[in-house]
A and B are shown apart, each in its own frame.
Chain A
Amino acid sequence: MVETVTLARSGSLAGRRMASVTELAPVARFSFRGSEATAIKLGEAFGARPAVEPCRSSVAGARSALWLGPDEWLLIATDQDAGTLFAALETALAAEPHSLVDVSHRNTGFDIVGAGGAGLLSEGCPLDFDLAAFPVGMCTQTVLGKAEIVLWRFAPLSFRLECWRSFAPYVADFLAQAADNQD
């Protein structure tokens, strides 16, 4: 289900505060854990090579790899179904100690786009969203209110938020409330 919630507010401050929150269609997602050497092997099969630098993402076409921890990455693919891709990755990693788990249906993704996006997130997230502190390409696990989230800035005014599926209504409501608070 794709649902667009427009949180833009009218009035003189609308330009500064404007942001749209869009719940994304299902995609293939994997939790990958392994050494940096195994991550290189995975990168060859997956396309996007997992970043070794903390809190950084790598993107190759429809494939994205997000650093979540020193041996943990979130893989996202929008061009292939999870079952086919899972089998291909497991074949490539057969000789490597690793963990690869299909978490496609565990998460719900939101895109938060617009000049007001960082302001909405700041209602419930303690991170500094200045471009110097949270540059394009940075990704991290953090919190939004009571929900644990993955947050990824993929363009200067665009954030991807991933949360566990059962938290999605809370996260959507939290962002709507945040927009109300800024009215």
Chain B
Amino acid sequence: MLLIPCPYCGPRSELEFKHAGEAHITREPQVADDQAWGEFLYTRTNPKGIIAERWRHTSGCGRFFNCLRDTVSDNILATYKSGEPRPSLETSGEPSR
């Protein structure tokens, strides 16, 4: 069970949240050719390591927000409100737990 810190409500059980895919994917249909449109729809970075992704506090305040999560350890490194820039993480060299 993950304990996810909602930027509004504070730390809450994973039960109250829904995952909503990778964050910071922008949509530009006016300029997108078939290749770019296809990549917007289907291509994700799927990293082994830190990913920025959207979550929604569905059974809480109802808000979407963004989250930095380590896909190897499931460690949640930061959460921040939608519209805010992705925070930079100090790389201490410490392996994430």
Contacts and interface: CB of A to CB of B under 8 A. Distances in A.
Contacts of B12: 126-127, 142
Given A54-B8, A54-B9, A55-B9, A143 B63 contact: no
A69 B56 CA distance: 12
B16 interface: yes
B15 A126 contact: yes
A20 interface: no
Interface size class of B (residues with CB under 8 A): 10 to 19
A162 interface: no
A33 to B, nearest CB: 10
Contacts of B1: 126
Given A70-B63, A148-B59, A142 B8 contact: no
A182 B77 CA distance: 37
A140 B60 contact: yes
A141 interface: yes
B61 interface: yes
A72 B16 CA distance: 18
Interface in B1-21: 1, 8-10, 12-13, 15-16
A68 interface: yes
Contact of A69 (B8, B15, B16): B8
Contacts of A126: 1, 12-13, 15-16
Contacts of B47: none
Contacts of A143: 15-16, 59
B61 A54 contact: yes
B93 interface: no
A69 B62 contact: yes
Interface of A: 54-55, 68-70, 72, 126-127, 140-143, 148
